[in-house]
Structure 1
Amino acid sequence: MTSLERFSVNQMTVKQLTLPELADACLELGVPGVGLWREPVQAYGVEATAKLVREAGLTVTTLCRGGFFTAIDPDERAAALADNRRAVEEAATLGTDTLVLVSGGLPVGSRDLHGARERIADALAELGPYAERHGVRLAIEPLHPMFASDRCVVSTLTQALDLAERFPAHQVGVTVDTYHIWWDDRAPEQIARAGAGGRIHTFQLADWTTPLPEGVLNGRGQLGDGAIDMREWKGYVEAAGYTGPIEVELFNDGLWARDGREVLAETASRFLAHTAD
């Protein structure tokens, strides 16, 4: 057993590394898990990626991302469902049981949050059984409310669980990501709710640093650089029964400008420093 046994690095944290470079760096540093993203995996080849990580002995903890279910136009909705079925198939090929979902923002010209969330439920009703047949679980990720209009109308764990609980837990659960929920006083009780229902499908860490960068999206801070107590949130998910991998997912231009192996080594070190009991 190593102290990094639950650590997984999300590919976006070190997106400057190619997939072979990432696999080599993980082997060198003793990192056991990776969370992969569809675009670089598709560029390298899904089957080729599966072979690469398998031969490196890496566990693929998640695949990002599916979702974007909120379109009103029937053709757009059909295209989104088709793409999500492909994402499920890719996850199965890569050997991960978890597809992370970013549910989608408001369609252009719409202000109907309720309607958008109901369209997410409609999509999950179709996609959940398909995912189950492939041995894949869907993990709804609530995003910080600043992303509600253009990226994700699911902003809290409460909203995510209200959707997920319409379906069996082995089909649909949630992603618990510190960056998006740390501000929410109700989040700890909702983590307990998710754990009781067997719906914590993945747990991700990133810190909240200010000032936020222009464009906001790439503002996820390295662990320990911001306002979030990582050990506290790890305690919440463990109290709820979660014992799985812990993924560090950082979108950060400053980190991407550095040597990727150096960033991975730093991230592993920060993980130990800020999550150890």
Structure 2
Amino acid sequence: MVDGDPRLARLAVNQMTVRSWGVRDLVQGCLRAGVPAVGLWRDPVAEAGLAAAARWVRDAGLRVSSYCRGGFLTGADRAGALADNRRAIDEAAELGAACLVMVVGGLGADDRDLPGARARVSDALAELAPYAAERGVRLGLEPLHPMFCADRAVLSTLGQALDIADALPGTGVGVVVDAYHVWWDPQVDQQIRRAGDRIASFQTCDWTLPLPADVLLGRGMPGDGHVDLRALRRGVDAAGYTGDIEVEIFNADIWAADPDEVVATIVRRHVQHVL
């Protein structure tokens, strides 16, 4: 059970930030650092075994801030995508995750029909949402920066994600406010206010330059770049979000560093640049 610095009460470390750690290592590392929540990914959970992963987190007294990931709903194999997402929902329920993060998918190799792809996302979510609700799992639509529109997410803004979520009943489909993906948006403050109780997750990292050749790995440690993380945190808090603040970083240099040192830096930067 984590019982320490109250400033860390909402802090979570996403598993991808310390990629070399399996689930058990992540749980133990967060316990050492006084971090009360972890964001888990499907592949490491499968490697550990779902039941074992759930038990390790539960026995440690930690929370699962998010489970990554569902989505990829835009491809030709609709039935396969829906089946895989139902499995992900079942896993999230077993873990007690606060939400299942949905990266909705991009365009096919010869596909240029963005409206059509977004319509397929809406249709699939209309089918998945009741299944998730029955299992007590919240779906979090994550808009990604426009540079990922073609291959990963045809939702690029909070406004687009909210348009889809708002068309579904209840608040079981929410949105993920990921600082890396939304900080640039001139309407981000307005859309965070609009989101209100649809905010399912708040993730932090920083936008650093120059971007690497693989732009997916361009995320920086909070405080190293250009994002006003404190302003975003104040915005989601003002909108009514009281959940975990999860640090999710894809960065080869950070992955190569000592994971305990990475978590220690996260703790310091969270206090300095987010709170």
TM-score range, shorter chain: over 0.9
Asked if 1:246 is matched to 2:242, the reply is no
Q: Is the 8 A contact 1:169 1:199 kept in 2?
A: no
How far the C-alpha of 1:56 sits from its partner, in A, is: 1.0
Asked if 1:205 is matched to 2:204, the reply is yes
SS in 2 for 1:175: strand
Q: 2:29 aligns with which of 2, 14, 25?
A: 25
Supply the RMSD in Å over aligned alpha carbons: 0.9
Tell me which amino acid in the other structure corresponds to 1:17: W
SS in 2 for 1:201: strand
Tell me which amino acid in the other structure corresponds to 1:224: G
SS in 1 for 2:203: strand
- The CA deviation string for residues 13-42 of structure 1, in whole angstroms up to 9 with x for no partner, is 111112222111111111000010011111
Q: Is the 8 A contact 1:103 1:152 kept in 2?
A: yes
State TM-score, norm by structure 2: 0.97
Aligned equivalent of 1:142: 143
Q: Is the 8 A contact 1:97 1:135 kept in 2?
A: no
Aligned equivalent of 1:97: 98
Tell me which amino acid in the other structure corresponds to 2:217: N
| Counterpart Cα distance in 1 of 2:264 and 2:49 | 26
Asked if 1:189 is matched to 2:193, the reply is no
SS in 1 for 2:6: coil
State TM-score, norm by structure 1: 0.96
Segments of structure 1 that go 5 or more residues without pairing to the other structure are: none
Q: 1:56 aligns with which of 55, 60, 80?
A: 60
Aligned equivalent of 2:116: 115
- The CA deviation string for residues 98-118 of structure 1, in whole angstroms up to 9 with x for no partner, is 100000001221100000000
Aligned equivalent of 1:229: 228
Tell me which amino acid in the other structure corresponds to 2:56: L
Runs of 4+ in 1 over 3 A off after TM superposition: none
Aligned equivalent of 2:168: 167
| Counterpart Cα distance in 2 of 1:135 and 1:36 | 18
Give the % identical residues: 56
Aligned equivalent of 1:67: 71
| Counterpart Cα distance in 1 of 2:25 and 2:59 | 14
SS in 2 for 1:217: helix
Q: Is the 8 A contact 2:14 2:38 kept in 1?
A: yes
Asked if 1:158 is matched to 2:162, the reply is no
Task: Give the paired residue count.
Answer: 271
Moved more, 259-268 or 164-173: 164-173
| Counterpart Cα distance in 2 of 1:51 and 1:209 | 37
SS in 2 for 1:25: helix
SS in 1 for 2:216: coil
- The CA deviation string for residues 138-161 of structure 1, in whole angstroms up to 9 with x for no partner, is 100000000000110000011000
How far the C-alpha of 1:172 sits from its partner, in A, is: 0.6
Q: Is the 8 A contact 1:50 1:94 kept in 2?
A: yes
SS in 1 for 2:139: strand
- The CA deviation string for residues 114-143 of structure 1, in whole angstroms up to 9 with x for no partner, is 000000001001100000000001100000
Segments of structure 2 that go 5 or more residues without pairing to the other structure are: none
Q: Is the 8 A contact 2:129 2:139 kept in 1?
A: yes
- The CA deviation string for residues 154-180 of structure 1, in whole angstroms up to 9 with x for no partner, is 000110001111112432110001100
Asked if 1:13 is matched to 2:17, the reply is yes
Aligned equivalent of 1:266: 265
| Counterpart Cα distance in 2 of 1:17 and 1:47 | 18
Q: Is the 8 A contact 2:142 2:176 kept in 1?
A: yes
- The CA deviation string for residues 60-112 of structure 1, in whole angstroms up to 9 with x for no partner, is 011010000001x3xx1110000000000000000113100000001221100
